[in-house]
A and B are shown apart, each in its own frame.
Chain A
Amino acid sequence: MKETIRIAAGQGFWGDLPNAPVRQVEEGPIDYLMLDYLAEVTMSIMQKQKARDPKAGYARDFVTLMSRILPACVARDIKVVANAGGVNVAGCAAAVREVARELGLGGKLKIGIVTGDDILDRIDDLLGRGIELRNMDTDAPLASVRDRIQSANAYLGAAPIVEALNQGARLVITGRATDTGLTLGPMIHEFGWAADEWDKLAAGTIAGHIIECGAQCSGGNCQYEWQSIPDLANVGFPIAEASPDGTFVITKHENTGGRVNIPSIKEQLVYEMGDPRAYITPDCVADFTTIHLADDGLDRVRVFGIKGRPSTDSLKVSISYSAGFKAVGTLVYAWPDAYEKAKAADRIVRARLDRLGLRFDQILTEFVGANATHGPLAGEPSPDLAEVQLRVGVRGNDRQAIEEFTKEMAPLILTGPPAVTGFAGGRPKVEEIVAYWPALIPKSEITVQVDVIDV
């Protein structure tokens, strides 16, 4: 057994710095590269792509990335774990296999494919058997949006990733898998942790939580002494250096920018936290009130003392559904009285929308530069503000009404308050809203499949 393994995070979200995973592989020692590609509504986008082209429906960026780093990963024995498969895990694996063969890696690696998360075709069966998939936030039954569902996937944990690694996969591609499972899986595989070693599973889960947002734990978006954080242009993405006893160190490659210290780790620990005593994943329930942190040298924080409890009988399901349309229009008003002008323009455009008889489920006006982020807490804006951006958003089920709204913003330039600009983008775009429906499903309903193929 290795004394420690180094698991590197390559992406904090789909669309993060494209070069980050390449640098993780090339600029220092790592054993695993974990890549999270799936935001909450990403699956619905991929479902649409697959409907148009049965070979699509996964993160194509991942295939491009593999063409760049796969030879180095094979040469230096680095394994890759990614939930890049979206709604077409097999298609993603096939594309990666093709790339690997083109690189002359035929016969030199195996790809693990994890499926079973996609339950879109089983919704009616589940509802028919009384599994209501109620919304965890609102308690509404799924039947209320049944005809608008676009994708439905259960969050899988670390177990199938472990299974694929145990069968010799160098690359593991999953569909909807938890971010934390991508980090925990390699630890279980390497250290042989048992399924009921809850403290260790919780530790690996928390390591995953810390690195899953990429550089947000290593100096990015860090409020603590942010002005002094060095060289964010060259920010180093995080690495979890895990030990068999469940303790780990968060660090980053040498000669990279950013900062890993206790405050930067604390900020990431509380990010998107609910009840800290019950961080629930498919693998365990982790207790954030047991985490201890210690300085371990420059850009190194040691994490220890973590306790966990048995996992629950449910898996979280992420369902996406079509929820109407929205559009947001903006204009910029300049000094003097920028805020007063923007407010007047808002009154004018709303009066015109009323006169047109347009109705929306919601209309929201914000004044960027005055109070868009902190609302009334920002206090009364100064009359000397150099400029204020008027930002008007509307939402509703009637696409035509939203289209009509988009025609009403630009005319304010010639028909409203003076010293206005910032309309170069043309009319606002109407966007279809794909909303997110979180629910729970009994674990017994989900059958996970692990296939390992040769390249």
Chain B
Amino acid sequence: MQVQLIKLAHARSGDKGDTANVGLIALRDAFYPLLVREVTAERVKRHFEGICKSDVERFELPNLGALNFLLHESLGGGGTLSLMTDAQGKTFSTALLRMEIEIADDEARSAGLI
């Protein structure tokens, strides 16, 4: 079944120059392995097609049940150079939560999703 990340995680995003960072945090411990498996750097890069102009890096924080993504060249030059409404990447958090991932029905059942 398809599940939107907003059902599995919360998130906060910010900036470092022209790079947006998105921290994706599992709502429950049981969801973290699903995020690790499905929300890969490649998948996030595809999700942000047309927005992220360079690479996506991913870091794992199992202690927090969180993944950190760096989306390089995503903020129109970044900082004061950017003309974007969201020059600081503050809303990339919920943009990532729009993503849908595929999980098996029995997985969804054991994670308490259905």
B-binding residues in A (CB < 8 A): 40-41, 137, 221, 223-224, 263, 266-277, 288-293, 305, 323, 326, 328, 362-364, 366, 368, 372-377, 391, 393-395, 433-436, 438
Residue picked from B15, B16, B64, B77, most chain A C-beta under 10 Å: B64
B18: chain A residues within 8 A (beta carbon): 137
A433: chain B residues within 8 A (beta carbon): 80-81
C-alpha gap A277/B37 in the complex (Å): 21
Knowing A223-B10, A372-B86, say if A269 contacts B64 (CB, 8 Å): yes
CB–CB B85/A372 < 8 A: yes
A374: chain B residues within 8 A (beta carbon): 91, 94-95, 98
Can you show 10 pairs from A to B with CB atoms below 8 A apart?
Answer: A266-B25, A267-B25, A268-B12, A269-B64, A271-B14, A272-B21, A289-B62, A326-B83, A377-B47, A435-B80
| Any A CB within 8 A of the CB of B56 | no
B76: chain A residues within 8 A (beta carbon): 362, 364
Knowing A223-B94, A268-B12, A323-B80, say if A368 contacts B85 (CB, 8 Å): yes
How far apart are B96's CB and chain A's nearest CB, in angstroms? 9
C-alpha gap A268/B64 in the complex (Å): 12
C-alpha gap A328/B93 in the complex (Å): 25
B81: chain A residues within 8 A (beta carbon): 323, 395, 433, 435
CB–CB A394/B80 < 8 A: no
CB–CB B63/A438 < 8 A: no
Nearest chain B residue, comparing its CB with the CB of A224: B10
CB–CB A272/B83 < 8 A: no
B10: chain A residues within 8 A (beta carbon): 223-224, 263, 267
Nearest chain B residue, comparing its CB with the CB of A374: B95
CB–CB B84/A364 < 8 A: yes
CB–CB B86/A273 < 8 A: no
A137: chain B residues within 8 A (beta carbon): 17-19, 78
Knowing A375-B50, A393-B83, A395-B83, say if A274 contacts B21 (CB, 8 Å): yes
B51: chain A residues within 8 A (beta carbon): 375-377
Q: Looking at chain B, what size class is its interface with the partner chain?
A: 35 or more
CB–CB A377/B98 < 8 A: yes
CB–CB A436/B80 < 8 A: yes
How far apart are A336's CB and chain B's nearest CB, in angstroms? 24
CB–CB B68/A273 < 8 A: yes
A377: chain B residues within 8 A (beta carbon): 47-48, 51, 95, 98
CB–CB B12/A436 < 8 A: no
B49: chain A residues within 8 A (beta carbon): 376
CB–CB B63/A373 < 8 A: no
B60: chain A residues within 8 A (beta carbon): 289
A269: chain B residues within 8 A (beta carbon): 23, 64, 66
Knowing A276-B59, A435-B80, say if A373 contacts B64 (CB, 8 Å): no
CB–CB A435/B63 < 8 A: no
Nearest chain B residue, comparing its CB with the CB of A277: B59
CB–CB B83/A364 < 8 A: yes
CB–CB B83/A270 < 8 A: no
Known interface pairs A40-B79, A276-B68, A433-B81; 20 further A-B residue pairs with C-beta atoms within 8 A, sorted by A's residue number: A41-B79, A223-B10, A263-B25, A266-B23, A267-B10, A270-B61, A271-B14, A271-B21, A272-B14, A273-B68, A276-B59, A291-B64, A362-B83, A372-B85, A375-B50, A377-B47, A393-B84, A434-B80, A435-B79, A436-B17
| Any A CB within 8 A of the CB of B11 | yes
How far apart are B70's CB and chain A's nearest CB, in angstroms? 7
Nearest chain A residue, comparing its CB with the CB of B70: A274
